[in-house]
Amino acid sequence: MPFAVLSDTDVKAVLRDLKPFEVTNIADDLVQAFVQYSCHDEQQYQPHRNVITRPGNQVSLFMPATTQQSIGVKIVGISPSQDPAGASQDAKLKPALQSALTICDALGQATGILNAAELTAFRTALGSILLYRLRQVTENIVVFGAGKQALWHIRLAILLRGQDIRKITVINRSSRRTQELFDAITESGLPLHIDLEAFGEKEDDKVTLEDVVTAADAIFCTTPSTTPLFPATFMTSEKARVKTRFISAIGSYRLDMAEIDPELLKAVTDPSGSFSHQVWQGHIAVDSIEGCLQEAGELVTAGLSSDQMLEIGRMEDLRAKTNPSGLREWLESGFVIYKSVGIGIMDIAVGNKLVELARSKDIGIHLDSF
């Protein structure tokens, strides 16, 4: 098999021109990776990620993963904080986080190396979109954050459900980053019927954060926040419980972080609580139970057990086979919370598809032998 080298520019070129059917094809492969992970004993073949901190606070993350078809490892380098005044011009231009994904076939023959910065943002957002795309109502979307994750959540939502969206509101502290996000969305193609707004941009605007959040049909949380982005009362009030919502949280990845109020998680997973008729058997959706128990601060603080979490792979397997009563209704119109901390098989599944697409579109460097 030819060996592919995809730079950051190459990966962006592949992703920039994705058509809805291509996104669906990648999503289908990601679903199958999740099903293998959750239902076919693949978890035992996933090595633990390692974090190495060298003198000077240079941090390196090694994230290996295996599937029946592929072996891969993503290496992430996190630069130590620098005094802007003393940093070189090159250091100022480089992002603080660099990453590369190497993929091999099942026998260890290398098949590709990809710059993984854009890939990681894309695959994480796609994980959220797997469930979001099932929603019956998605006119009003609220996004917390304005980085790559926010961009890809919005792009994918528009690609797959654009005809059903009427308004997207971005909530972020930096007006500059919000404008950069808006420019990127507009450049990639924003349908004329969708209003794109920044919360709080109008000085005379009397709309509160609670107004914006409770009006949302879907909420994408994409920030590494150490405090909940909104209080549980925004969702638990009698007014708020008139409608249901889809909420994804992918930004927090340590035990000291939290995007969702733990009190909301407790309320949603209470089988006899006020959300019991909107939530299937008191569950929230996750990518990995093991990963979330180790890294998802809000879930651990809420005291959620593994029985209250349903892995997306298990969920998709149930949908395809027995489709138990109430599951479909929950995913389409119930109150769904999805929490992701990321697992390595996501990188392999999506990375392989991007290599395939790049080869078909003659993007990147492709060597006959390596």
Q: What is the pLDDT of residue 96?
A: 61
Is residue 49 left, alpha or beta, with left meaning phi > 0 and alpha meaning psi from -120 to 50?
beta
Q: Do residues 291 and 349 both lie within one domain?
A: no
* Predicted confidence band of residue 95 (pLDDT cuts 50, 70, 90): low
Q: Do residues 232 and 358 both lie within one domain?
A: no
Overall average pLDDT of the 217-228 stretch? 96
Give the domain range for residue 20. 3-119+345-367
Task: Return the SS3 of 27.
Answer: helix
Residues 300, 301, 302: CA angle, nearest 5 degrees = 90
Q: How confident is the model over 274-309, as pLDDT tens digits?
A: 999 999 999 999 999 999 999 999 999 999 999 999
Q: What is the pLDDT of residue 305?
A: 96
* Predicted confidence band of residue 113 (pLDDT cuts 50, 70, 90): very high
Task: Return the SS3 of 62.
Answer: strand
Q: Do residues 201 and 216 both lie within one domain?
A: yes
Q: Which residues of 62-93 are buried (b: 16+ CB within 10 A; e: fewer)?
A: ebbbbbeebbbbbebebbeeeeeeeeeeeeee
Number of domains in the chain: 2
Is residue 79 left, alpha or beta, with left meaning phi > 0 and alpha meaning psi from -120 to 50?
beta
Q: What is the pLDDT of residue 49?
A: 86
Q: Do residues 337 and 351 both lie within one domain?
A: no
Overall average pLDDT of the 333-355 stretch? 97
53 pLDDT higher than 80 = yes
Q: Do residues 264 and 336 both lie within one domain?
A: yes
87 pLDDT higher than 50 = no
Q: What is the pLDDT of residue 1?
A: 75
Q: What is the pLDDT of residue 85?
A: 47
Overall average pLDDT of the 45-68 stretch? 91
Residue 251 CA from chain centroid, whole number: 8
Q: Do residues 137 and 57 both lie within one domain?
A: no
Overall average pLDDT of the 142-153 stretch? 97
Q: What is the pLDDT of residue 238?
A: 87
Q: What is the pLDDT of residue 201?
A: 65
Q: What is the pLDDT of residue 81?
A: 60
* Predicted confidence band of residue 91 (pLDDT cuts 50, 70, 90): very low
104 pLDDT higher than 60 = yes
Q: Do residues 73 and 113 both lie within one domain?
A: yes
Q: What is the CATH number of the domain that holds 41?
A: 3.30.1780.10
Q: Do residues 193 and 311 both lie within one domain?
A: yes
Is residue 364 left, alpha or beta, with left meaning phi > 0 and alpha meaning psi from -120 to 50?
left
Q: Do residues 336 and 205 both lie within one domain?
A: yes
Q: What is the pLDDT of residue 202?
A: 62
Task: Return the SS3 of 148.
Answer: helix
* Predicted confidence band of residue 138 (pLDDT cuts 50, 70, 90): very high
Overall average pLDDT of the 195-210 stretch? 81
* Predicted confidence band of residue 58 (pLDDT cuts 50, 70, 90): confident
Q: Do residues 21 and 162 both lie within one domain?
A: no
Overall average pLDDT of the 324-333 stretch? 95
- Helices (H), ranges, 142-208: 148-161, 175-189
Q: What is the pLDDT of residue 80?
A: 77
Overall average pLDDT of the 34-41 stretch? 94
**Residue 284 to residue 204: CA distance in whole angstroms:** 38
Q: In this structure, how many other beta carbons lie within 10 angstroms of the beta carbon of residue 134?
A: 17
Overall average pLDDT of the 198-223 stretch? 87
Q: How confident is the model over 169-191, as pLDDT tens digits?
A: 999 999 999 999 999 999 988 99
* Predicted confidence band of residue 263 (pLDDT cuts 50, 70, 90): very high
Q: Do residues 57 and 183 both lie within one domain?
A: no
Average pLDDT over the chain reads 92
In contact, 159 and 153? CB cutoff 8 Å: no
Element (H, E) at 247: strand 246-249
Q: In this structure, how many other beta carbons lie within 10 angstroms of the beta carbon of residue 360?
A: 9
Interhelix angle 20-39/117-132, nearest 10 degrees: 80
Q: What is the CATH number of the domain that holds 190?
A: 3.40.50.720
Q: Do residues 28 and 133 both lie within one domain?
A: no
Q: What is the pLDDT of residue 253?
A: 87
